[in-house]
Structure 1
Amino acid sequence: MATEYRLVDVPELGYLSTDRPYPRGELLLRTETITPGYYKRPEATAAVFGEDGFYRTGDTMAETGPDQLAYLDRRDNVLNRPQGEFVILS
C-alpha cells in the first residue's frame, strides 16, 4: 500500500499536474514495503528513485478525485520522432 503519492509533469507528452479538470502526470510512490533499490546497481537505482525516496513508476495517470487515479499510459510507450511528432507504441 502506498503511504504517499504524487504526480509529476511529463511536458514532452503534454501531461501536467496543473491540467484541469484532472491533474495528469507520471505517478511517483513512496511505500514502506517497496524495494530499496537494485542489488549492486546504483545507476539503475538512481534512475528510478528520486533523492526524496519516491519511486518513479513510469505510469502516466490522471487524478480524477481525492486519492482516485485513472491509468492513461506508460511513459515509455510514446516515442518522439525527429520530426517532432509523437508515436504511440502498440
Structure 2
Amino acid sequence: MNMQMRASDTRWLTPVYVRIGHEVPEAIRSPREALNQLLYRWPPVYGEAYHLAKQRCSLAMAGKTSCEASREAFIMACIEAKVLD
C-alpha cells in the first residue's frame, strides 16, 4: 500500500488557538484550516499580516514554502486582528 501525504494535508507541529468574537477558542492545526479562517471567519482586520498569511498558507498547501512559515505568518495575522487566544 502506497500512502503519500500531499502538501495540502500537512499539519503544524503545534496548533494555534484563536478566539473570533465571543466563540470558544478553536485550535487551528494546518495551513488549510488557517486559510479557511482567514477567508471565511476573519474579523474585518485586513492588514499586511493578514495578506501575508493568506499568501503563505496557500504556498504551503502547494508545497512551495514550509508549513511552519505559514504558521508563523498566521500567528502574526492573529496578533494583528487580536484573535490569538
TM-score > 0.5 by shorter chain: no
Scaled by the length of structure 2, the TM-score of the pair is: 0.23
Q: Does 1 or 2 have the higher relative contact order (CA < 8 Å, sep 6+)?
A: 2
Structure ranking higher in strand proportion: 1
